[in-house]
Amino acid sequence: MDPDVEIMFVTEQGKLIPEEKTRVSVSRDFSRRTLPEDEASIETIWSNRLKENPRLFNGTKFRVHSVSTDGSGVVTLNVSLTDYREYLGTNWAPDVDKLQARGQRECGDPQAFLSDPMGVGAFVLTSDGHVIFLKRSLHCAEAPAMWDIPGGHAEPEELAGEKPISEIDMSQLTSADVAREIFHSILREVRDEVNIGEEHLSPALLIGIAKNTTSAGRPSLEFLVRCSLSKDQVLALYNQGSQLEADESTKIMFLSVSAVVNMQSQDPSLWAQVAPSAKGCVLLYKMSHGL
C-alpha cells in the first residue's frame, strides 16, 4: 500500500460497477456531527484561508458516509451534503487528529465530525493504451505541482441549484439523479481539464473508493474511463488550452498501463510526485484487476 492512501471499497476483480448498478441513499443521517465550538472554529479557519487565497469558493459537495454491496453486484452509497468551507475547517483543521479521536470515542467513527466531501477521479485510458496524468498548478489548494489524474467533485448544485446546505431539501435528491450526477461529473472533469469532448469518452465504471490520509481520510470515488482518441490526439487537444479548467494544470503526461501499475516499485521517485488521489486510483485499479 502507501501511507497516503487507505482503501474504503474496491470492486470485485473484473466486475467494475456501472451507473445502473449504483444506488445512492441521501439523508441528513449521514451528515457530519456538529457542535457549536466546531462551527466557530470552522468560520475562523475559512476566513483565514480566504485572506490567503481569494480564489476559494464555498460550493456544496456530497459527503460520503459509508458504502455497501449486495449479492447482485449493486453498490449503495450513503451520502449527505457538506461544503468546501466545512472541508477546510474540519479535514484540514490544525487539530483534526483531536476531531478524529473524539469521533472514534463518541461515535465509533473517526470521520464522524469531518466534512469528507466526495471527490471523483479517473483512470483515463487512451485508444493506444496510455494513462493520462496532469501536473497540478501551483495555485491549486491541494497537491500543488504534483502529478494527478483528471478529477474533481460531483456537484449538488447541478441538481438543487446554488443554495446553502440548509436550504436544500435532501428528500428531493433521488437515487437515480444523484448517481447520474456522480457518474457524469467525472466525464465533465475530463472534458474541462484535458479538453476531450464527452463524445470521445466511454461511460464511467466505478473501480472503488480511496481515502486520502493527507487530508484526514477524505474519500474519492475512482473510475475507469476509456477514450477513443490516441495520446497524440489528446496532446493536441490539451495544448490548445481552450478547456474550461486549463489553469488547473501546467503539463500533461502519458504513461503505459504497465508503467503505471509498476510505478510504485519500479519508479519510486516519480511515485513520490504523484498526488494521493491519483495513488488511490492506481492502487484500486491494480486491486480490481488482480495486478
> For 79-95, what is each residue's pLDDT tens digit?
999 999 999 999 999 99
Span 151-179, pLDDT tens digits: 999 999 999 998 889 899 998 999 999 99
Rounded CA-CA distance 31/81 in Å is 7
The three three-digit cell numbers of residue 78, written as one number: 450513503
Cβ(284)–Cβ(167) below 8 Å: no
Q: What is the pLDDT of residue 258?
A: 97
Q: Which residues pair with 224 in a beta bridge?
A: 123, 205
- DSSP per-residue letters across 190-246: HHHHH---GGGBPPPEEEEEEEEGGGTSEEEEEEEEEBSS-HHHHHHHHHH--STTG
Rounded CA-CA distance 40/87 in Å is 14
User: 248 — phi, psi (to 5°)?
Assistant: -85, -10
Domains of the chain from N-terminus onward: 5-288 (3.90.79.10)
Going from the C-alpha of 206 to that of each of 52, 82, 129, 183, 282, the distances in angstroms are 36, 22, 19, 8, 13
**Which of 23-37, 97-111, 134-148 is most confident?**
97-111
pLDDT tops 80 at residue 247: yes
Cβ(244)–Cβ(186) below 8 Å: no
Average of per-residue pLDDT across 251-266: 97
Q: Write down the residue that cell numbers 472534458 correspond to.
A: 191
Task: Decide which of 281 and 142 is more confident.
Answer: 281
Please report, as a single letter, which amino acid is at residue 167: E
Going from the C-alpha of 277 to that of each of 6, 93, 121, the distances in angstroms are 10, 19, 7
Q: Which residues pair with 7 in a beta bridge?
A: 210
Number of helices (H), then strands (E), in the chain: 10, 11
The Cα diameter of the chain in Å comes to 54
The CA-CA-CA angle for residues 195, 175, 122, to 5°, reads 30
Cβ(281)–Cβ(190) below 8 Å: no
